[in-house]
Amino acid sequence: MKKVRIGVLGFASIAQKAIIPAIKDLPEFFEFIGVGTRTEEKKQEIINSGFDAFVPYEQIIDKDIIDALYIPLPNAMHYQWVKVALESGLHVLVEKSLGCNLKEVEELNQLAQEKKLVLIENFQFRFHSQLDYIKDVLARGILGEIRSIRSSFGFPPFSDSNNIRYQEKLGGGALLDAGAYPMKLAYLFLGKEIEVISATSTKQYNSEVDIWGGGMIKQINGNEFLQFAFGFDHFYQCNIEIWGSLGKLSTNRIFTAPPGYSPEVQIETAKGIEKIQLDSDNHYQNMLIHFWNCTQSQELCEEEYSQNYIQAKLLEEFKIVSNGK
């Protein structure tokens, strides 16, 4: 089995705490090469953490060194560095949101498709077995016909007031950082033919960016819909509720169930309330194995291009509807 040599661009917290450890725990799939950074100061921090460091970014974006690049940079930097990586012939895994607008995503998608390269926007919750269990419940008809789906994702204020998520120039804001998650559920449960039919977004505290919002996504040729809410500076929420003609399913860690955590799904029907403790899972490793599989399959790549486009389209529609245009 051919190992994929992979590097990381930037030493973000998620890279340090989740993705790099997951890569190193999959030695049959990946060879971890190191981390690209922009400064000598950061280089020393990376070296002190036990990893090889490359300064500046361009030093690691080299097909002779790596086959794939993971990019956890701020949103506003995604387009530039994803494009550089793809043009260099590298497969790319990038944190959400892939781009700050639909035009950027369409261009990156087209470039990846032309070069037959992987381009995945990282929503690791897609690969948690919890999601498979929920889909199986729906497939077995336990809830009957689906009437509505609701999801909320929001969290308390960041301790650092200068956090990149509060900065407009870095592509911050609650929509791209938090709202993107429940919106992703629309594709997973409602299918590809969907559109945003209502949206609201709010700035507050003299913020540069949107702090909270919500809306509704509906099937274009069907009746099922998803209501969602999101925000920074909130009481923590990370849930999904699926309401059907025969019952209701809910769970409270749909996006952020970490390795070692056993999610609990609650199902309510006329028979009563059942609480099911699911097995723990490592969605980071599962996501990376899917990424590796995509390097071996253009068909899987095409599915990811489709998901990239639909997610970006929904985000663009949300902005248009919330602005009343």
Query: Tokens 């099922």 correspond to what residue?
Result: 224
The two structure tokens encoding residue 315: 């985000």
**Using an 8 Å Cβ cutoff, are 54 and 37 in contact?**
yes
What's the count of helices (H) and strands (E) in the chain, helices before strands?
A: 10, 14
Token digits of residue 120: 């995945």
Active-site residue, from 17, 63, 96, 192: 96
Question: Bridge-partner residues for 243, per DSSP?
Answer: 148, 248
Question: How many CA atoms lie less than 13 Å away from 137 in the CB half-sphere?
Answer: 27
Rounded CA separation 118/115 (Å):
9
Q: How many CB atoms lie under 10 A from the CB of residue 109?
A: 21
Would you list the DSSP string of 88-154?
Answer: TT-EEEEESPS-SSHHHHHHHHHHHHHHT--EEEE-GGGGSHHHHHHHHHHHTTTT-SEEEEEEEEE
Contact in structure between 196 and 217 (CB atoms under 8 Å): yes
Q: Which of 253, 286, 291, 300 is nearest to 129 (CA)?
A: 286
Reading the block at residue 160, the tokens are 């650092």
Question: Residue by residue, what is the 3-state secondary structure of 17-63?
Answer: HHHHHHHHCCCCCEEEEEEECCCHHHHHHHHHCCCCEECCHHHCCCC
To the query of whether residue 203 is one of the catalytic residues in this protein, the response is no
**CA 133/CA 89 separation, integer angstroms:** 37
H/E stretch holding 85 reads helix 78-87
Active site residues per annotation? 96
